[in-house]
Amino acid sequence: MELAWFLAFCLLATSLAELQESKSSIQLNLYHVHGPGSSLSPNSSISLSDLLSRDQQRVKFLRTRLLNRGVQIGSTPHNKSGNLLEPNSASVPLSPGLSIGSGNYYVKLGLGSPPKYYAMIFDTGSSLSWLQCQPCVVYCHSQVDPVFEPSASKTYKRLSCRTPECSSLKAATLNDPICAASGACVYTASYGDASYSMGYLSQDLLTLTPSQSLPYFTYGCGEDNEGLFGRAAGIVGLARDKLSMLAQLSTKFGYAFSYCLPTATSGSPGGGFLSIGSIPPSSYKFTPMIRNPQNPSLYFLRIAAITVGGRPLGVAAGGYQVPTIIDSGTVITRLPVSIYAPLKDAFVKIMGSKGYEQAPAYSILDTCFKGSLKSLAATPEIQMIFQGGAGLSLGAQNILIEADKGVTCLAFARTNQIAIIGNHQQQTYNIAYDVSSSRIGFAPGGCH
């Protein structure tokens, strides 16, 4: 018994030394686009001001990433083969994250043999999936599920530095992999709000549903996880990269996924869905998915016009030609000042004509009114129309956010030279990412 304890202690000390050495030898590239944020429910332990601050950090980094890399936007030709629309798909419930201390959305995924299920933040801006792992030699934050124990899984495998998956880490994370003394591949996933996860690149059985699974799923087994992840076990990445969960599942289900984000304040688990695989094309109106060679993992599209109360903004067609992404992890939609200013003016004018009194700004939200969301029932519809005619027709729930008691604000904010379609505007829409055919679809009607 003493010998077993001594060997376990030595193993733990070796792992700790490897990770600490790896940590000291890498300068974290805090590039990525993750950070909690969302509208709040009465049961939330997160303040709206904190969420907006984190959301702003994410957007600032996105802006730096897009503009400093010489962004050039061009469409990817459509794949005429139709290989994407495979007959089978896998669908899992998608839930608001406020109940687990996150402003993002999460899914429950199974890992290991036998599978155990974990709440994982769903992120279209991340490529590498990871979750916290025992023995947590440096740090694991508190999570709602027991921390994953690799030794309890019969199919767990730690990958070496010589594997192609390890060589792919730089493209997936923008951080170089590190080869530990044992030969194991050490990853670092870092994010725009200074959060990060570090640990061993691994493979195991991924279970989506009791009848649908993927052997040899590559992910990060994190033993140093610092930052703003709420009480989630980790992150599941759905960006356009060969290490993302989407790409790994594509050979089985096709290179496509769709989701519906339930209203963030619904509180109860579920209500939405994440589906990997087939998309019923008759349900959606599509816009081209724009390919960006400098930022190939993100999902770009193009705004063609915006209307308020049925009237177009006074913006020339060329004024909408800015780098625009759709992102599940940004909360508040951002628009360049040249578009945001006329949007604000048109919205304030209509609200004023209906007798609504303006209120002081709240954090980054500078267009606020006195009254609750429910009391502002006559809010004009905002339409965001994308290239090809697809779009979002937004009512009060998607346009406004209650910032404080008796104060409700427009859930749009200004930025410079880029646009981001945030998750508050996406809520209750079915959104499809037909990656093989380079198109994004939108369908109203709630999370059915």
| Any domain includes 4 | no
**d(C-alpha 198, C-alpha 169), whole Å:** 12
Number of folded domains that form the chain: 2
> Where does residue 114 rank: exposed (0-12), middle (13-18), buried (19+ CB within 10 A)?
exposed
pLDDT confidence of residue 72: 41
Give the domain-ending residue among 274, 307, 336. Answer: 274
Give the domain range for residue 107.
Answer: 25-40+47-66+101-274
Q: Does residue 243 sit in helix, strand or coil?
A: coil
Q: Which of 55, 123, 224, 434 is catalytic?
A: 123
C-alpha to C-alpha distances, 290 to 56, 61, 121, 356, nearest whole angstrom: 24, 20, 25, 39
Q: Are residues 287 and 433 in the same domain?
A: yes
On whether residue 74 sits in a domain, the answer given is: no
Same domain, 403 and 319: yes
Pick the catalytic residue: 193, 241, 327, 434?
Answer: 327
123 is catalytic: yes
313 Cβ neighbours under 8 A, 6+ residues apart: 305, 306, 307, 339, 342, 343, 346
Question: How crowded is the C-beta side of 19, counted as CA atoms within 13 Å?
Answer: 22
Pairing of strands 130-132, 212-226: parallel
Q: What is the pLDDT of residue 279?
A: 83
342 and 262 fall within a common domain: no
- On whether residue 327 sits in a domain, the answer given is yes
Residue 147 and residue 132 in contact, taking contact as beta carbons nearer than 8 Å: yes
Q: What are phi and psi of 319, to 5 degrees?
A: -70, -20
- Catalytic residue check, 176: no
Q: Which residue has the tokens 């993992």?
A: 297
Q: From first to last of the 448 residues of the chain, give the pLDDT tens digit.
A: 333 333 333 344 445 556 666 555 554 443 444 443 333 544 455 678 877 877 777 777 677 667 754 444 444 433 333 333 344 789 999 998 888 888 789 999 999 999 999 999 999 999 999 999 999 999 999 999 999 999 999 999 999 999 999 999 999 998 999 999 999 999 999 887 778 999 999 999 999 999 999 999 999 999 999 988 889 999 999 999 999 999 999 999 999 999 999 988 765 566 899 999 978 777 899 999 998 888 899 999 999 999 999 999 999 999 999 999 999 988 899 999 999 999 999 999 999 999 999 999 999 999 999 999 999 989 999 999 999 999 999 999 999 999 988 999 999 999 988 999 999 999 999 999 999 999 999 999 878 6
**Distance separating alpha carbons of residues 205 and 215, to the nearest angstrom:** 4
What gap in Å lies between CA 32 and CA 129, rounded to an integer? Answer: 13
